[in-house]
Amino acid sequence: MIAEIALAILWLAAALAVLQLGVGSYALTARGAEFLRAVRPIAVVQGLLVAVAFALLIVLFLRTDLSVKLVAANSHSLKPLIYKIAGAWGNHEGSMLLWVTVMGLAGGFVALLERRLNERTMVATLAGQAFVSLGFYAFMLFSSNPFERLNPAPVEGNGLNPLLQDPGLAFHPPTLYIGYVGLSIAFSFAVGALITRDVGPAFARAMRPWVMGAWIFLTLGITAGSWWAYYELGWGGWWFWDPVENASLMPWLAATALLHSVSVLATRNALKAWTVMLAVVAFSMSMVGTFLVRSGILTSVHAFAVDPERGSFILTLLAIYIGGALALFGLRASTVTEGAKFHLFSREGSLVMNNVLLVGVLGIVLMGTLYPLVTEAFGTKVSVGPPYFNPVSAIFVFPMLVIMAAGPLMRWRQDNGRKLANLLAAPALVAAATLALVVVFGGEIGALPLLGLVFAAGLAVASVLPLWKRNLRRTPAHIWGMVIAHLGIAVALAGMASESAFNTEKLVASEIGQSHTVGPWTVELQGVKPIAGANWTALEARLVARYGDSNVQTVLNPQARMFASPPTATSEAALLTRWNGQLYAVLGEEGEDGRWQLRLWWKPFVPLIWYGGLLVGLGGILSLVGRTVRDLRRKGEPELEPISEPAASKPAAGGQEALA
């Protein structure tokens, strides 16, 4: 029964989305003004209904109702509780339902709380949002129904892929999805503002929390995904420019550019068209990401051709939304005024340059990810991997880091450079000192890791300089947020560079009782014994590690696990973290001579990658909270000159400039 009720509720929610779009569109016409008030309640109810449908899916998974096809295919009665819940979204249908749920809830939330925006723009936004969700409702109801029954019901379920049975990964996909969906809200705002010709600071302030929220979730999602790949896949890598990784990186790059641009629009009333354009690009990238991950095209173009239903559906949605948004943009670009002017050598100027560079990196990642699909369609299979992405993205990233160091120290509108030169002396010195130190003591390392270390050191110093001579207690939260986020980038970069520069690896076939050295560590294999968990059995090694001449012994227990359902072998690496790096141990096979395969890595400063990611996320959260509190406090009073007020329904149609 539950499945049928949930399906009915889902249809009802979809019907409400149709209503939201219809009533919203009519309300915007000359005669429909009386309907303006109806749209918000519809959006709220639509969000609640779809959330109920999703909750019911979780209930089905909790009860392991095997007569539901999705549950049978992805769950198992013996699975730990947390993975039963996570199983609800660890698959195609469930994740699509999660997508519309987050989207519906976010729409309801906007409808309930957002009061700063002109009501017509608000309604246009909600109608746009309903239009986007409708595509996903249709996708789910017509081609991937999560509540489909299975008759006869099997005795036992298939189980969840053991690699996914990990707390980190249980929450990685929802985190990224919330990020994707947040960008869809930003997209709806942009569409709404274009429809009512209302692109201004009020629009930017309404959109900003959603962009920031989405960006925070994307940042944390990517960080968590990279950490998961690092310790769960057992090969000690943290980023491989894999298409699935790129699919999450591309929206992040676009959102980063959008985030900076929307802040300039909110506070300086500049970069109007550019902000709208980036909102469209950011959402396009989350759609491209969904398409790549969900269509099966990544494994092979041929796989996609054999089963093109889902992929074509998403591709069609992509074409409709992006094509539609670009057409609307083309029609309305002339009504978007240029906004406040500024000099290249100013804080806005540096933001624009970095935005352009970010979009450049985005272009490279997009090209490198999609190009193999293109050549495969023509019959040639090529691979594009780290040897392409690392140096090519570096062309854009290193100039970006320099501008990132200088930009926050510049004045708005125009900077004369005198103060800047003094301030930047410190980071330049630190960078030079790092260069000297690494060249003298670092041994032979590649050019990119070397540059990475040098730039990270310089940027770390430069990123805290905006606090120089400020009263720290009176510094607003969003300044702290910016400083911490920029510092986080420097920290993460230091970790990445250090990992590629100083990593040491040891592969050994070890007898019990034998000792091995890796980097500064001595590791002794003391024994291997079998153990069992809820739905797996494993061999667990006992390794004793000592650092340098120290007598302190630490035990590590890497495991080789065997899951019963589905039958899969996984490795649980053992990690030992010190302030200056991580020892990473993996247990392999037993050889015929009774010796055990061990893989040991010493990775200096590698945890900085994820600490950096967390700092970036923390900076975002501080900034979001600070901005929101400020915005709420200023509610009702215009932050800017009257010209920028949205009340003036139609700004003078003067500026033809697209990029302003």
Which residues in the 418-457 window bind other proteins by CB under 8 A? Answer: none
Task: Name which of 329 and 396 has its Cβ closer to other proteins.
Answer: 396
Residue 219 burial (CB count, 10 A): 26
Binding mask 131-160 toward other proteins (x if CB under 8 A, else -) reads -----------------------------x
Query: Which 8-state DSSP code applies to residue 34?
Result: G
Does residue 341 belong to the site contacting other proteins (CB under 8 A)?
Answer: yes
**From edge to edge, which strands make up the β-sheet containing 581-590?**
504-510, 596-604, 581-590, 574-578
Say which DSSP state 566 is in: T
Q: Which stretch binds other proteins (CB under 8 A): 280-288, 524-532, 562-570, 631-639?
A: 562-570
Q: Does position 46 bind other proteins by CB under 8 A?
A: no
Of residues 92-121, which lie at the interface with other proteins (CB under 8 A)? 92-93
User: Does residue number 172 form part of the binding site for other proteins (CB under 8 A)?
Assistant: yes
Q: Is 79 near other proteins (CB under 8 A)?
A: no
Coil, strand or helix at 405: helix
| Choice between 569 and 629, CB closer to other proteins | 569
| CA–CA distance, 548 with 388 (Å, rounded to integer) | 38
| Residues in 190-229 that interact with other proteins by CB under 8 A | 229
**Measured distance CA(653)–CA(335) in Å, rounded:** 5
Q: How far is residue 297 from each of residues 94, 180, 305, 315, 366, measured CA to CA in Å?
A: 19, 20, 8, 11, 15
With CB under 8 A as the contact rule, which of the stretches 178-186, 300-308, 548-556, 616-624 interacts with other proteins?
A: 300-308
- Whose tokens are 């939260």? That residue is 477
User: Closest CB to other proteins among 335 and 568?
Assistant: 568
Residue 307 tokens, joined: 């089963």
- Find the shortest distance in angstroms from Cβ 606 to other proteins: 16
Please report, as a single letter, which amino acid is at residue 65: D
- Asked whether the beta carbons of 526 and 514 are under 8 A apart, the reply is no
User: What is the nearest approach in angstroms of other proteins to the Cβ of residue 329?
Assistant: 16
Residue 58 vs 392, nearer CB to other proteins: 392
Is residue 256 part of the contact set for other proteins (CB under 8 A)? no
The beta strand positions in 271-360, using DSSP E, are none
The reply on whether position 555 binds other proteins by CB under 8 A is no
Interacting span for other proteins (CB under 8 A) from 117-125, 291-299, 450-458, 541-549: 291-299
Residue 268's identity, in one-letter code, is: R
110 Cβ neighbours under 8 A, 6+ residues apart: 43, 122, 125, 126, 129, 185, 210
Stretch that binds other proteins, among 24-32, 131-139, 362-370, 458-466 (CB under 8 A): 362-370
Residue 560, SS3? Answer: strand
User: Which of 141, 328, 392, 448 is in the footprint of other proteins by CB under 8 A?
Assistant: 392
Q: Please tell me whether residue 242 binds other proteins under the rule CB under 8 A.
A: yes
Tell me whether residue 160 or residue 282 sits nearer to other proteins (CB atom): 160
Torsion-angle region of residue 636: left (phi > 0), alpha (psi -120 to 50) or beta? left
Q: How far is CA 551 from the centre of its chain?
A: 43
The one segment of 102-110, 325-333, 522-530, 586-594 that binds other proteins by CB under 8 A: 586-594
Output 351 or 490, the one with its CB closest to other proteins: 351
Query: Measured from the CB atom, is 160 or 460 closer to other proteins?
Result: 160
- Using CB under 8 A, pick the residue from 8, 142, 323, 381 that binds other proteins: 381
235 binds other proteins (CB under 8 A): yes
Which of 34, 549, 592, 637 is close enough to bind other proteins by CB under 8 A? 592
Phi and psi angles of residue 87, each rounded to the nearest 5 degrees, phi first: -60, -25
* Residue whose C-alpha is closest to residue 317's, from 135, 177, 540: 135
Beta-carbon contacts of 613 under 8 Å, excluding residues fewer than 6 positions away, are 219, 220, 222, 223, 226, 488, 492
Candidates 41, 167, 385, 527; binder of other proteins (CB under 8 A) is 385
400 lies in the binding site for other proteins (CB under 8 A) = no
